[in-house]
Amino acid sequence: MKTLSLLRHAKSSWDDPVARDFDRALNKRGIRGARLMGEYMRREGLEYDHVVSSPAVRCTETLDYLWEGMGRTLHATWDRRIYLASCVTLLDVVNDRPDSADHVMMCGHNPGLEDLILLLVPDRAGDALRDSVEEKFPTAALAEITFDVTRWADVKAGTGNFVRLMRPRDLDAALGPEIDG
């Protein structure tokens, strides 16, 4: 059994002009949301064998504040393929994960992460988690999908089982839809 957790970077700032989109930092709400998600992960006892992330500033900062909330640091592998990638490229990244890791977290961007969830999890009537992602996978949201495989290379479209979706607004209503990005 393999478990994939997909974390969208927290809310970034459009107020500070930066030369490249890659360099956009988190805003105050993003920092708050990332810390809150880390606290949630700590309370839930979530453990990750392997973390892979886009090296974009908003992802590296999301993980820094997430670790702060978790109370410990996990070291990420930085993979430029994740930056603004399509779901097909993201699936390639998943397929490349080491088989020694049973629970992988990937931190990245939309629309790729949202599309990856919809690619991996079959569309079944009454699947409230998938339906929610189909509506929106907001910033700092965490999706957890399991696969009945022993090798990451065997993760394919339509083979996932959606087991968890947590959004910052589920933990603090002040981080609700009007500020999700």
Q: What is the CATH number of domain 2-175?
A: 3.40.50.1240
pTM above 0.85, yes or no: yes
Looking only at the bridges linking them, the beta strands covering 161-166 and 142-147 are: antiparallel
- Cis preceding linkage at 111, omega within 30: yes
Side chain identity, residue 121: V
Domain boundary assignment for the chain: 2-175
CB atoms within 10 A of CB 178: 7
Torsion angles phi and psi, residue 38, rounded to 5:
-65, -40
d(C-alpha 141, C-alpha 136), whole Å: 10
- Per-residue pLDDT, 7: 98
Nearest alpha-carbon partner for 1 in 160, 165, 166: 160
The per-residue pLDDT for range 24-59, each reduced to its tens digit, is 999 999 999 999 999 999 999 999 999 999 999 999
CB atoms within 10 A of CB 135: 9
The per-residue pLDDT for range 75-134, each reduced to its tens digit, is 999 999 999 999 999 999 999 999 999 999 999 999 999 999 999 999 999 999 999 999
Q: Pick the residue with more confidence: 21 or 75?
A: 75
Q: Can you tell me which residue has the tokens 């990244």?
A: 93
